[in-house]
Amino acid sequence: MLKYQHIAAEIEKYIQEHALQQGDKLPVLDELMVQFGVSKSTIIKSLELLEERGVIFQVRGSGIFVRRHGRKGYISLLKNQGFTRDLDHFPITSQVLELSVRKPTREAATNLNISMEQDVYYVKRVRYIYEQTLCVEESYYNKAIVTYLNNEIVSDSIFDYIREGLGLKIGFSDSYLHVGKLEEEEAGHLGLHKGDPKLDVETIFHLANGQPFDFSRITYNYIQSQFFIQANGHGM
Amino acid sequence: MLKYQHIAAEIEKYIQEHALQQGDKLPVLDELMVQFGVSKSTIIKSLELLEERGVIFQVRGSGIFVRRHGRKGYISLLKNQGFTRDLDHFPITSQVLELSVRKPTREAATNLNISMEQDVYYVKRVRYIYEQTLCVEESYYNKAIVTYLNNEIVSDSIFDYIREGLGLKIGFSDSYLHVGKLEEEEAGHLGLHKGDPKLDVETIFHLANGQPFDFSRITYNYIQSQFFIQANGHGM
């Protein structure tokens, strides 16, 4: 963790510990520098990070303010690090339906920017929140990047393993959302009925160097899942 | 438009005109400074803005690269400026069902952070893409901020009017998404059937100074609408 990331985490902790609410004002820049014992440029980078994450907003000439926190139990559609973290007050478990090495579908190959001859790890799992089904997920990992997976890893957070076990740096992601009706097989996995509403989220996850490493499609149980998005309005 | 915003727009135009694809490398910082005739700090701010918007990504020690553009016809869930702009190659029209001054519901008052005695503009409209229904929208605008609306304005882009007509600076937004089944009345407006899938997006829009000015709920026609989200992975 870089220094400005560490300071950002400290400021976020400060907001939580003081139970600050939307619109509450934070100390001015100079005070924050003194309070955390770091340079002005570090504080500025920390604040930019917190603004991007939707924790604060800055008003030129007026100050730094706390931003509303997402409602509890909502899944952020912006944090591209797997949702185990959003729902960290909720117990998430996984049932692995399949883990295999295979050749990608044409769609997966295109999205991973690999040929159809290259190996991928294919993972299919149902995820549960408390004892309700949350979603069914199919993922294709480029095996040249994600070199190893086993049943124990995929029963838990695959992204934690990629970061900590493989030491890879996760970058940006592109997600595409469609609402539709459940197919029979999906409905079976989710404990719902064929034709019930569903949200499909297709995501291409990239490393920080821009290489796509994971193409996934998650089908959510519409009863159990709700989502939030915090957007910034910079210059658009 | 500030200088760095203008340069960002120029760089985006350059990417389009040269038909650059995901992973294509842009000129280095020094070259961009010369090419656009601006300072290093301006170029850096322009690049940060483009990164935030998902147009480029930067790899430390390696360079600046073009990022995949959203698929055509998808509505961005991140640009909080109304979707007239995402779908600017598509003709969007509106049918106004109601425009009135009234007292807010309890929910609207809470989200707008006003009392239930204060006036709001209530707008209900159906929006069309080509001649298909795209969504039905209900919005509550705090009348103390959005002081004037009429039928002509609400038939077009309300956000363009707020920015250009009222001269207000739009800031961040918080959105909450739920998937569910259409009620009879909603289905009627959308030309669908009761019980068909729907996506509800509830959004609180704020001015740049943090004041909420619009609380809206949009119910999308699941057949006509698809969405994309570009997420950055900074330090999470």
In DSSP notation, B166-210 reads S-PPEEEEEEEEEEEE--HHHHHHHT--TT-EEEEEEEEEEETTS
Contacts of A232 in chain B (CB under 8 A): 52, 80, 171-172
What pLDDT is recorded for position B105?
97
Low-confidence ranges of chain A (pLDDT < 70): 69-71, 78-90, 233-236
Contact B172 A2 (CB under 8 A): no
User: A172 to chain B: nearest residue by CA?
Assistant: B232
pLDDT tens readout for residues A217-234: 999 999 988 888 877 764
What pLDDT is recorded for position A53?
77
The two tokens of residue A195 are 């034709």
Sign of CA dihedral B212, B201, B170, A13: positive
User: B51 to chain A: nearest residue by CA?
Assistant: A172
Contact A233 B208 (CB under 8 A): yes
Contact B74 A178 (CB under 8 A): no
Our CA-based measurement puts residue B144 at a distance from the nearest CA of chain A, in whole angstroms, of 18
What pLDDT is recorded for position A236?
36
Between CA B155 and CA B11 the distance in angstroms is 33
**Planar angle of CA B228, B128, B100, nearest 5 degrees:** 105
B3-66 and B75-228 share one fold: no
* Domain layout of chain A by residue ranges: 3-66, 75-228
Between CA A172 and CA B230 the distance in angstroms is 7
Q: Which of B54, B208, B233 sits opposite A59 (nearest CB)?
A: B208
User: A8 to chain B: nearest residue by CA?
Assistant: B235
Mutation for testing the B interface, residue in A69, A174, A207, A230 having most B CBs under 10 Å: A174
**Number of CB pairs < 8 Å for A and B?**
175
Contact A176 B8 (CB under 8 A): no
Contacts of B236 in chain A (CB under 8 A): 53, 79-81
Contact B176 A226 (CB under 8 A): yes
What pLDDT is recorded for position B58?
87
Radius of gyration from C-alpha coordinates of chain A: 20
Our CA-based measurement puts residue B222 at a distance from the nearest CA of chain A, in whole angstroms, of 5
Mutation for testing the B interface, residue in A190, A229, A232 having most B CBs under 10 Å: A229
ipTM surpassing 0.85:
no
User: A4 to chain B: nearest residue by CA?
Assistant: B235
What pLDDT is recorded for position A142?
98
- Secondary structure (DSSP) of A40-59: HHHHHHHHHHHHHTTSEEEE
CATH 3.40.50.1100 fits A3-66, yes or no: no
Residue pair A94/A154 in contact (Cβ under 8 Å)? The answer is yes
Contacts of B112 in chain A (CB under 8 A): none
Q: What does each of the 236 residues of chain B score in pLDDT, given as a tens digit?
A: 788 989 999 999 998 888 888 889 999 999 999 999 999 999 999 998 888 778 898 888 889 999 876 667 788 776 655 554 455 556 788 999 999 999 999 999 999 999 999 999 999 999 998 788 999 999 999 999 999 999 999 998 899 999 999 999 998 888 899 999 999 999 999 999 999 999 999 999 999 888 999 999 999 999 988 888 877 764 33
Between CA B37 and CA B185 the distance in angstroms is 57
What pLDDT is recorded for position B86?
52
Q: Which of A75, A94, A63, A108 is nearest to A217 (CA)?
A: A108
Measured in whole angstroms, the distance separating CA A3 from the mean position of its chain's CA atoms is: 22
What pLDDT is recorded for position B162?
94
What pLDDT is recorded for position B23?
85
Between CA A145 and CA A209 the distance in angstroms is 12
Fold for A75-228, please state it. Answer: Chorismate lyase (3.40.1410)
What pLDDT is recorded for position A235?
37
User: A76 to chain B: nearest residue by CA?
Assistant: B176
Contact A231 B8 (CB under 8 A): no
Q: Which of B210, B222, B235 sits opposite A179 (nearest CB)?
A: B222
Contacts of B179 in chain A (CB under 8 A): 179, 197-199, 220, 222, 225
What pLDDT is recorded for position A87?
53
